[in-house]
A and B are shown apart, each in its own frame.
Chain A
Amino acid sequence: MRPVAVIGVGKTAFGAFADRDLRSLAVEAIGHALADASLPPSMVEAFYLGNFAGPSFTGQNHLAPYVGLAAGLSPGIPCTRFEDACASSGAALFHAWQAVANGVYDLVLVGGVEKMTSQTTPKVAEILAGAGDMAGEGKAGATFPALFAMIARRHMHQFGTTREQLAAVAVKNHANGALNPLAHMRKNITLEQALAGKPVAEPLTVYDCSLVSDGAAAVVLAPLSRAHEFSGRFARILGIAQTSDHVALDAKTDITTFQAVRVAGEKAYRMSGLSAAEIDFAELHDCFTIAEVIASEDLGFARRGEGGPFAAAGCSAINGRIPINTSGGLKSKGHPVGATGAGQVCDIVMQLRGEAGQRQVRRHRVGLAQNLGGSGATCVVTILGAP
């Protein structure tokens, strides 16, 4: 396999955009990414689009050519949609990387998009529940917040994790998102506010839950050997892996850890030749505060069971030992689910290039992105390095 580079990144703002449709968001992000790479759309050889539930949210199916041709891609190329719940564009990236690494294509576009805010909250909850086991947990009345609430309860029971420690994750990510011009909710919150939030599924309040957002992100890949031909501001993919596990939460032996995350992390670390201690910063999939806590353990940044104290002590703050979710994370930046994996990679690349503005971390040679689908049934971990 040959080394692969990210030669361009682009995102829309994440938020609630009543006047924007799915296609216009995706086309905007693709335009930004191709311009960033200095690549005309006609040169793209294949398009991999991550989208979770466009057909349910908007009624539109057949999304990859629908978006791709509108973005100016050539009619002769393959355009395909990837669906792996909230890891849809992480999965699109993984498969695009495989194609470039194996010499199938040189210039490949990865997109991610979701248009969620045109539905009522109970309808959104129902559509998202489809990322779980509808015949079991869904039928019993589990929403995604409820699944992660049950994970949080068990983590608290086994390790003594506290509500305050979970709230500390929300406070940190809101502080980071307040500095991100493309974030959905740019406001600081206090620990007291987070603890007093409206309950969604005990012990989680609204401040423990990521946002329902509209948005899109795009990434352009090329073989490393050709990266210098374009804008020249590229990043290297040092390691990448996609893994799977049971969709149903009750089919997992231990719900206080995600096996899919641990294995994807191990594989990506092995490919990169790096260890957790050598990662400078990370974007972790904080669909809920407890998910960031567990991912920080599963990827080796905190010891098992100590992800709560790790966050509360400031280890993952922008000026901490390993800054996590300097973008604001899904919590504050927003979580248009199909766009999240590609969006994380955009945020990592901006940090690697020193373009993160007020959120810029001091050490920015190596960053890790972790994209989770469902309650841990899909995980994509990507390790990126400065050129």
Chain B
Amino acid sequence: MGQANPGNGTVYTETIVFAAPEQYVDDAPYQLAIIDLEEGGRLNARILPESGRVQIGDRVVFVELRNGVAFYARG
């Protein structure tokens, strides 16, 4: 892809997904969020389970990309 990793941000909204699509059934339940990025724009991301649950307005930091999906943790 050659693109830089996304930066840190704050949680614009979030949910915990219990009924997952076929490819993520084994991950459920997992937290999904839309992040307001510090550099501008928004991003769909997953919250690392070990980071604990985040809420709207929480600051989050980028951790890694897994198969193209951005994972964040509480900042």
Interface residues of A (CB under 8 A from B): 120-123, 125-126, 129, 136-143, 145-146, 149-151, 153-154, 157, 198-204, 248-251, 255
Q: Does B32 contact A (CB under 8 A)?
A: yes
Contact B21 A153 (CB under 8 A): no
User: A-B pairs with CB below 8 Å: how many?
Assistant: 95
Among B13, B27, B29, B70, which residue has its beta carbon within 8 angstroms of that of A153?
B13
**Is B56's CB under 8 angstroms from A126's CB?**
no
Query: What distance in Å separates the Cβ of B20 from its nearest Cβ neighbour in chain A?
Result: 7
Known: A125-B21, A250-B34. A141 touches B15 (CB 8 A): no
Contact across chains for A146 and B22 when beta carbons are under 8 A apart:
no
In the assembled complex, 9 residue pairs joining A and B whose CB atoms fall closer than 8 Å, in A order, are A125-B19, A125-B22, A140-B32, A145-B17, A149-B17, A150-B32, A150-B33, A198-B18, A200-B18
Tell whether B74 is near chain A: CB-to-CB under 8 Å. Answer: no
Knowing that A122-B19, A140-B32, A150-B32 are A-B contacts, what are 10 other residue pairs whose CB atoms are under 8 Å apart, sorted by A's residue number? A139-B44, A141-B21, A145-B19, A146-B17, A150-B33, A151-B13, A201-B17, A201-B32, A202-B15, A250-B34
Residue of A nearest to B70 (CB): A140
Q: Which residue of A lies closest to B31 (CB)?
A: A202
Contacts of B45 in A (CB 8 A): 140
Could you tell me the dominant secondary structure of chain B's interface residues?
strand
Q: Which residue of chain A has the shortest Cβ distance to B36 in the bound complex? A: A250
Taken together as a complex, chains A and B put the C-alpha atoms of A202 and B27 apart, in Å, by 16
Contact A201 B16 (CB under 8 A): yes
Taking CB atoms, residues of chain B closer than 8 Å to A146 are 15, 17, 32
Decide: B19 and A121 in contact? CB cutoff 8 A.
yes
Most chain B CB neighbours (cut-off 10 Å) among A125, A154, A157: A125
Partner of A150, one of B15, B23, B29, B67: B15
* B15 cross-chain contacts in A, Cβ below 8 A: 146, 149-150, 153, 201-204
B68's nearest neighbour on chain A, judged by CB, is A139
When chains A and B are docked, how far (Å) is the Cα of A150 from the Cα of B68? 21
Contacts of B22 in A (CB 8 A): 120, 122-123, 125-126
The 3 closest A-B pairs by CB, nearest first: A149-B15, A140-B44, A250-B42
- In-complex Cβ contact of B13 among A121, A129, A154 (8 A): A154
Q: How far is the CB of A119 from chain B (nearest CB, A)?
A: 10
Residues of A within 8 A of B46 (CB): 140-141
Bound together, the chains give a CA A125 to CA B21 distance in angstroms of: 5
Pair A142/B44 contact, Cβ less than 8 Å = yes
